[in-house]
Structure 1
């Protein structure tokens, strides 16, 4: 089969899978409930979801590429998705089939411009890890290269042959599906899926450029310089190209290997808390973060000669292909949001959501504030294990009472938010897997207190910026008032209300989208807005069955706006 034929076959296979299960979601989660068969639809929901996960597992392993990354992300959502789903997909962290070493050798030699035995003293033909886009092998640098790099034991990461073409096909399929979903009004109202896919495309193309990854590793290392909690592998630049990356070997205990951690005398609960704090620092302080912190990319390395009072171990991060940046304004908004969550202050939390840009400034958020107050009063401070013991009917009652409130507000996903959601979700899932009783509140509260202390230190600067901003507005105000009066006198003042008209049309159709819109709001809004603090809200808003996002994707087809 030619490359072109193989690409077409891959594209068709992805599209058939997507269409099949979107149609199934429409039938069971939209059509049957509308004709009074909601109870019948709910009876087999768990079995159907398990079947979808099993079939996607097979699809991802068969196709590789970006499909594996989707499955890896879902398998890490232990805090949101039921265990039947995550169990089916967890193998994607380690079961990616390796490429034959002969093909890897030929690809690496072509990139390096020399035989492999001249480039390295030794390369292990057995892969250390096989990932969706590349494959890693242990190696040893030649003495001269080792002297220049400062290390001898290395890991050579080689791209899978033909991965550029595979990524192009997968992105084309995702763009097509996103285009379909963008025509669904309830989805388009809250998120620009084509734009998000383009952000994902940029990230994916950067991820298959190993020179870009090497620079990311050095920048990440600089951010943690002098921080004993984190180690970053050095780069052997003489043996690095766009498709071959040679890094210092820092492999140790995989972060989710609980038995190995305990055998080394390391408490998994302490690892969970420390990992949350390290990720918080990246997101809320540095503004530069590892966006793919799944178990295969994080190791726990014992430090026998640690200083007194130190943990005696540290995190070793690898795979810097997927990194994210948090703009200053968004980072400050996230800081205010996490402080409000720690304080259980619903008013400040609503303002923090506005600052982040998820809630549009025109929204009347009084009802949202009331919903958050009720949420904090009932579920605030609970960890994941405690939530599992809450009667599911209580979750359903909460979602029924406040689902319409959340759904009716003008939410959106701001730019640069996709990778933040991914990093926070993987972090939450990781902490829950390390310690089921892990309570994110215990990590958030002391961290928020530190942020408050830092804010006090910059209080004078903040007041100065506000004064400058006010002075600018005051200087422009007389001219604006004069222009407004002139337009009124001349009859040129117009009021355009397309948003109001759109909202009225949306309210007219709301009753026809109750089931799917509540599900969509629970997964999207819970994940995008409230997940950075702890897993409570995502679990609550997703209601009892916690179905995946596909259950809401086609909810708006029947109510598409005209014109």
Structure 2
């Protein structure tokens, strides 16, 4: 039997027929989008928002549980989507993130005979001719592949300079599954692109394509091997970090042989303490290393979950740190373009210095702020937020009275509800990396204060960028000169408009508030009529089924009217 026929014969757990898989993903997405539209968009527009609020937590939990089941049964990229959702602690409710966080470790392994068949077909030789031993029980099973510990034959070990290795093998048939999943995700992205509430804040099809590119690169193990070497080169002179070596002689697009660098899992506090390592001291070092990747190197590990980072004790620590951070799994890596990196550095400095105006300017520079956002109001909100909550760690924030958060939300209610942020195309992996970094640091030390790591790092960035001060001052002088040259002409035009009476003054915020008030009144009237007809119909129906049914059907008219009024206001 040929390798191709063997691969087709091997069952892929949860894969099923590709067309059935595609339809199942779309059905799941369509139903949950419809439910979300009904509760979060339609009901609030007709004055029934309290119904959505009362049921929101239960609906979110139910959605997460159903998606969890779907992801485990289908595997493939559905696991990756779930892992991404579980890391979005910044925007998703805990009902979702808590339910999905277990997807990191819940992928069922592929039976070893199927793994052996694929590996031997890729290497062009029986495993016994390459390895002295291969453990059949995997040390890790992921959605796209799994890893087995092995020992190279002595001659091969001498050639590679490695002895203990980890053999990473693709799941059989995963390429077909990835193609189907990406097709389904592209379809869902197309649906979301027609929802204004979503499309105003993110180019969903572009985000799906970014996710697709990352996923296709992740199943190309030669690409991962190159990433591992590039990462190692970036930190070659840094005693805090190490990465595994690559055995290129026995690595292919679907099989990867790496140095075995397994050590203490970064979040295993008990094992760390037994090794004499204080978990609270690991957190700031890990944060600083991730900052270096994002803000200095521009090449970063986009999947730094606890299973991909070890703390490795150093045997001879007389001249340096007694442990290192060891990164593995370089399939999902991201790059930060120089322009975006400059904007992120500016953002970090503004956040560290509690500069609300500078922070708004920075997020605008990196493309996170929508053009229509009220910058003055947002600056005031950020300044207020820094003044009250700036510098607090996660444990401190948890202790803050919820009334204070509520008062902030009330004060800046319109701003919070308008969400003047968008997700730029190249931010998907950046957000994932920072979300996971924050989660790991908090699990190492629940008193960990991100500001304690941000401030010294931002101070160093500020010192590094002082060399550009002369250039910045020259640019500012040039801009000021240009404004001065244009000022007389602009003043002359202003005087002319005042004289001929064509000068008009607009207050967009007041106009928006009046329009919102008008829509609210009309929605309230529609909701009142809808409720009256619905209740009347349900009462009358007990004695006159026909009349009661007619009243209940007619109640749909004011319901749709209220929905239309709300839609026109978007």
Could you tell me the TM-score, scaled by structure 2's length?
0.79
Q: Residues 512 and 377 from structure 1, CA distance in 2 versus in 1: closer, same or farther, beyond 3 angstroms?
A: farther
Instruction: Give, in angstroms, the shift of residue 37 of structure 1.
Output: 4.5
For the pair 1:330 / 2:340, whether they are aligned, the reply is: yes
Instruction: Give, in angstroms, the shift of residue 560 of structure 1.
Output: 6.2
From 9, 18, 35, give the equivalent of 1:7. 18
Q: Any idea what the Cα deviations from partners look like across 1:365-415, whole Å, max 9, x if unmatched? A: 111111101111111111111111223333233234324235658643333
1:396-415 matches, within 5 Å, as 396-405=406-415, 408=418, 411-415=421-425
Contact in 1 for aligned 2:88/2:432 (Cα 8 Å): no
Instruction: Give, in angstroms, the shift of residue 421 of structure 1.
Output: 1.1
Contact in 2 for aligned 1:189/1:410 (Cα 8 Å): no
Instruction: Give, in angstroms, the shift of residue 445 of structure 1.
Output: 0.8
From 43, 57, 70, give the equivalent of 2:81. 70
Q: Any idea what the Cα deviations from partners look like across 1:283-308, whole Å, max 9, x if unmatched? A: 00111100111111111111131244
1:187 is aligned to: 198
For the pair 1:119 / 2:130, whether they are aligned, the reply is: yes
Q: Residues 19 and 396 from structure 1, CA distance in 2 versus in 1: closer, same or farther, beyond 3 angstroms?
A: farther
Contact in 2 for aligned 1:78/1:433 (Cα 8 Å): no
Instruction: Give, in angstroms, the shift of residue 199 of structure 1.
Output: 1.0
Instruction: Give, in angstroms, the shift of residue 5 of structure 1.
Output: 7.0
2:503 is aligned to: none
1:351 is aligned to: 361
From 106, 115, 132, give the equivalent of 1:104. 115
For the pair 1:380 / 2:390, whether they are aligned, the reply is: yes
Q: Any idea what the Cα deviations from partners look like across 1:165-184, whole Å, max 9, x if unmatched? A: 11111111111111111101
From 255, 276, 287, give the equivalent of 1:265. 276
SS at match of 1:417: helix
CA distance in 2 between partners of 1:468 and 1:422 (Å):
39
Contact in 2 for aligned 1:141/1:152 (Cα 8 Å): yes
Instruction: Give, in angstroms, the shift of residue 558 of structure 1.
Output: 8.1
1:166 is aligned to: 177
Contact in 2 for aligned 1:254/1:296 (Cα 8 Å): yes
CA RMSD in angstroms, aligned pairs only: 3.2
1:219 is aligned to: 230
1:12-23 matches, within 5 Å, as 12-23=23-34
1:202 is aligned to: 213
CA distance in 2 between partners of 1:558 and 1:98 (Å):
53
Which structure is larger by alpha-carbon Rg, 1 or 2? 2
2:189 is aligned to: 178
Contact in 1 for aligned 2:201/2:370 (Cα 8 Å): no
1:100-499 matches, within 5 Å, as 100-308=111-319, 310-359=320-369, 364-405=374-415, 408=418, 411-460=421-470, 466=475
Contact in 2 for aligned 1:364/1:409 (Cα 8 Å): no
Contact in 1 for aligned 2:229/2:245 (Cα 8 Å): yes
CA distance in 1 between partners of 2:402 and 2:346 (Å):
31
Instruction: Give, in angstroms, the shift of residue 77 of structure 1.
Output: 4.5
Contact in 2 for aligned 1:190/1:411 (Cα 8 Å): yes
Instruction: Give, in angstroms, the shift of residue 509 of structure 1.
Output: 7.8
Q: Any idea what the Cα deviations from partners look like across 1:480-517, whole Å, max 9, x if unmatched? A: x9xxxxxxxxxxxxxxxxxxx9xx9999689979xxxx
CA distance in 2 between partners of 1:82 and 1:157 (Å):
34
Instruction: Give, in angstroms, the shift of residue 91 of structure 1.
Output: 2.2
CA distance in 2 between partners of 1:31 and 1:426 (Å):
34
Instruction: Give, in angstroms, the shift of residue 314 of structure 1.
Output: 1.0
CA distance in 1 between partners of 2:314 and 2:513 (Å):
58
Contact in 1 for aligned 2:165/2:259 (Cα 8 Å): yes
Instruction: Give, in angstroms, the shift of residue 270 of structure 1.
Output: 1.4
CA distance in 2 between partners of 1:397 and 1:505 (Å):
22
Contact in 2 for aligned 1:151/1:248 (Cα 8 Å): yes
Contact in 2 for aligned 1:185/1:560 (Cα 8 Å): no
Instruction: Give, in angstroms, the shift of residue 93 of structure 1.
Output: 1.4
Contact in 2 for aligned 1:76/1:90 (Cα 8 Å): yes
Contact in 2 for aligned 1:185/1:559 (Cα 8 Å): no
Q: Residues 512 and 28 from structure 1, CA distance in 2 versus in 1: closer, same or farther, beyond 3 angstroms?
A: farther
Flag the structure with more relative contact order, 1 or 2, with Cα contacts below 8 A and sequence separation at least 6.
1
Q: Aligned residue pairs: how many?
A: 494
CA distance in 2 between partners of 1:257 and 1:290 (Å):
20
2:529 is aligned to: none
Instruction: Give, in angstroms, the shift of residue 359 of structure 1.
Output: 2.5
1:486 is aligned to: none
CA distance in 1 between partners of 2:513 and 2:194 (Å):
14
CA distance in 1 between partners of 2:514 and 2:199 (Å):
15
SS at match of 1:167: helix
Q: Residues 81 and 144 from structure 1, CA distance in 2 versus in 1: closer, same or farther, beyond 3 angstroms?
A: same
SS at match of 1:416: helix
Q: Residues 186 and 102 from structure 1, CA distance in 2 versus in 1: closer, same or farther, beyond 3 angstroms?
A: same
Contact in 2 for aligned 1:509/1:559 (Cα 8 Å): no
Could you tell me the TM-score, scaled by structure 1's length?
0.80
Which sits farther off after the overlay, 24-33 or 92-101? Answer: 24-33
Q: Residues 559 and 199 from structure 1, CA distance in 2 versus in 1: closer, same or farther, beyond 3 angstroms?
A: farther
Q: Any idea what the Cα deviations from partners look like across 1:415-457, whole Å, max 9, x if unmatched? A: 3221111111111122122222211111111111111111113
